[in-house]
Amino acid sequence: MATATTDLRFSAAATSAKTLDRATVRARRGRFLHHLASRGLHLDHLLPSPFRLRSPFSVCRAAAYAAEGDGEKYEYDLFTIGAGSGGMRASRFASTLYGARAAVCEMPFATVASDALGGVGGTCVLRGCVPKKLLVYASKYSHEFDESHGFGWKYETDPKHDWSTLMTRKNLELQRLVDFQTDMLKNSGVTLIEGRGKIVDPHTVSVDGKLYTARNILIAVGARPSIPDIPGIEHVIDSDAALDLPSRPEKIAIVGGGYIALEFAGIFNGLKSEVHVYIRQKKVLRGFDEEVRDFVTQQMSLRGITFHTEQTPQAITKSDDGLLSLKTNKGTVNGFSHIMFATGRKPNTKNLGLEDVGVKMDKHGSVMVDEYSRTSVDSIWAVGDVTNRVNLTPVALMEGGALTHTIFGNDPIKPDHSAVPSAVFSQPPIGQVGLTEEQATEKYGDVDVYTSNFRPLKATLSGLPDRIYTKLIVCADTNKVLGVHMCGEDAPEIIQGIAIAVKAGLTKQNFDATVGVHPTAAEELVTMRNPTRKVRRNSAGKTNVEALRQK
């Protein structure tokens, strides 16, 4: 800490010293700031326990930033609209690492978001990753109860689930997280303003009528569920509401084939609802590896979820007994207690004043940014879901971190969106990193594909039909592992370490040289010796597939 303060003084002094040329100054400062960033705080994403809180890195802010010049013209160096993952990261880093004067505005907390309600923590903590994962944990138990029989466990009566216990405890945890994150912002020296922010001009934000000026404005307002406008749509729920239902759905229709739909299908199925998933396409999870798409559908069906494919919803009706009917292009199904739409999300860019100040948006309403997250207005930036790049919390964190470095570190860095791993917390879950087989074939032409579809040890005892699917996609030329996909127990946890290897551009030989951890499911990823098929593009650009082995 003492060293850091000294360095900062040096940095500020050096900036004003005429004897040093500008390049030297920039180089020194860059090195120093990089040094700071590498030791900085990072835990403004999920913080389940105060235990993880580390003492904030405080710096002498006036020295650090006033040297930039026009700072005094504005009340803040950075004003952020939206205290979700991206907004919190950026404002905290701006303050703690660069000594910038940072403020963030956020709407009051509510489990269901609206134009006037949100909460510190944003989608991830309040209406996404965290509550979703908590419900996944809760719902997984029914599968574990089933598994336990094969291991000799027996209960006098079948375990029953009490919905209100779960909701109460989940909401207590969410409230704790809101308080915790609020404290963390304050401890970082960020000014938190409650209310809805709107941009008035390139350097002014109005929060419920009160004006704040800032040298830079960051838009980090995220996205919200979007549902199609069809007759009876007022009867349906979205994922916000689905995370906070007053009672367990008896029979639920989930419309959508994306990861949110599949995660909720697993949650409700595990908590003993009858679950029907309606998708417009032939397959779920567009954009994922084709074989994974098939595999997860199969496994979910085996756990009792019914999939209705190639059905487009047309109308919802409510009958006198309160039950809902879903009409699609193929017919009408009655008797749903709930119908949930998980049909995509829309950036929260309405009524933000963006059109008036000239911030450009695409046709979906996402804020358009360059590689440094800068919008079409020089002083306005945007990170996270509102930019609709890769809509994941850790990506918003990366974008937010890179942004502060770019603005305040005098060393522009671009967030790197390659080889970003991701997970679907369906049951069984999916973990993936890098390219799908289809993308790899398209990009590289010649690829070797290693697959394995096996029954894990636990399933041999439980007697359940659980399986695990793994896939490695390797560039035939360079032997680089281009993509890894896995569906089955623990896949998200397993893929994280693999993602380091893929990010580092490691080869199949590196995987083969690694000794397995035995007995695990993950060891399969380092023991896949023979390709299942070799995909080759001939001179005419046609792709041939040579199937070598069926496992």
Residue number, 103 or 392, with CB nearest to other proteins: 392
Query: Is 199 labeled as ligand-binding?
Result: no
Q: Which of 41, 363, 352, 67 is nearest to 217 (CA)?
A: 352
Asked whether the beta carbons of 463 and 549 are under 8 A apart, the reply is: no
Burial of 286 (0-12, 13-18, 19+ CB in 10 A): exposed
Do residues 426 and 263 touch, judged by C-beta distance below 8 A?
yes
Is 209 annotated for ligand binding?
Answer: no
Catalytic residue among 35, 45, 405, 518: 518
The neighbouring-strand residues paired with 326 are: 316, 333
User: Minimum CB separation from other proteins for residue 185, in Å?
Assistant: 18
Catalytic residue status for 518: yes
Question: Least distance (Å) from other proteins to the CB of residue 119?
Answer: 17
Q: Is 445 annotated as a binding residue?
A: no
- Cα–Cα distance between 44 and 223 in angstroms, integer? 19
> Helix 2-16 to helix 22-39 angle, to the nearest 10 degrees?
160
Residues in the chain: 551
Rounded CA-CA distance 452/286 in Å is 22
Side-chain half-sphere CA neighbours of 230 within 13 A: 18
Per DSSP, the three-state class of 43 is: coil
* Amino acid at residue number 516: G
Write down the least CB distance from residue 303 to other proteins, Å.
Answer: 17
In the bound state with other proteins, the residue whose beta carbon lies nearer, of 161 and 280, is 161
Q: Where are the alpha helices (DSSP H) in 312-456?
A: 354-357, 393-408, 437-444
The reply to whether 256 sits in an annotated binding site is yes
DSSP annotation string for 184-198: HHHHTTPEEEES-EE
Residue 497 CB, shortest distance to other proteins, in Å, is 2
Nearest distance in Å: CB 371, other proteins? 16
Pairing of strands 447-454, 533-537: antiparallel
CA nearest to 212, candidates 107, 104, 299: 104
Find where tokens 């569920």 sit. 225
Q: Which is nearer to other proteins, 231 or 412 (CB)?
A: 412
Which of 473, 439, 466, 478 has the alpha carbon at shortest distance from 521? 466
Cβ atoms of 427 and 136 within 8 Å: the answer is yes
Three-class SS string for 359-379?
CCECCCCCECCCCCCECCCCC
Q: Does residue 519 have a cis bond before it (omega within 30 degrees)? A: yes
Q: Closest CB to other proteins among 141 and 372? A: 141
384 is in an annotated binding site: no
483 is in an annotated binding site: no
Minimum gap (Å) between residue 210 Cβ and other proteins: 34
Q: How far is the CB of 533 from other proteins (least distance, A)?
A: 21
Residue 472, burial from CB neighbour count under 10 angstroms (0-12, 13-18, 19+): buried
Of residues 230 and 390, the one with the C-beta less far from other proteins: 390
**CA distance linking residue 305 with residue 99, whole number of Å:** 52
258 is in an annotated binding site: yes
Task: Between 101 and 508, name the residue whose CB sits nearer to other proteins.
Answer: 508
Ligand-binding annotation for 263, yes or no, is: yes
Residue 469 annotated as part of some ligand binding site:
no
* The pair of three-digit structure tokens given for residue 509, joined into one six-digit string: 């030989």
Burial class (CB in 10 A: 0-12, 13-18, 19+), 314: middle
The nearest distance, CB 40 to other proteins, in angstroms, is 6
Distance in Å, CB of 370 to other proteins, minimum: 20
| Residue number, 159 or 287, with CB nearest to other proteins | 159
Looking at the Cβ atoms of 25 and 461, the one nearer to other proteins is 461
Residue 356 annotated as lining a ligand binding site: no
Q: Is 134 annotated as a binding residue?
A: no
Query: Partners of 496 in the beta sheet?
Result: none
DSSP H or E run through 134? helix 129-150
When the beta carbons of 382 and 494 are compared against other proteins, the nearer one is 494
Judge whether 125 and 88 are in contact, CB under 8 Å. no
The binding site for NAD(+) comprises 256-263, 344
Active site residues: 518
Binding-site residue set: 133, 197, 256-263, 344, 385
Binding residue positions for FAD: 133, 197, 385
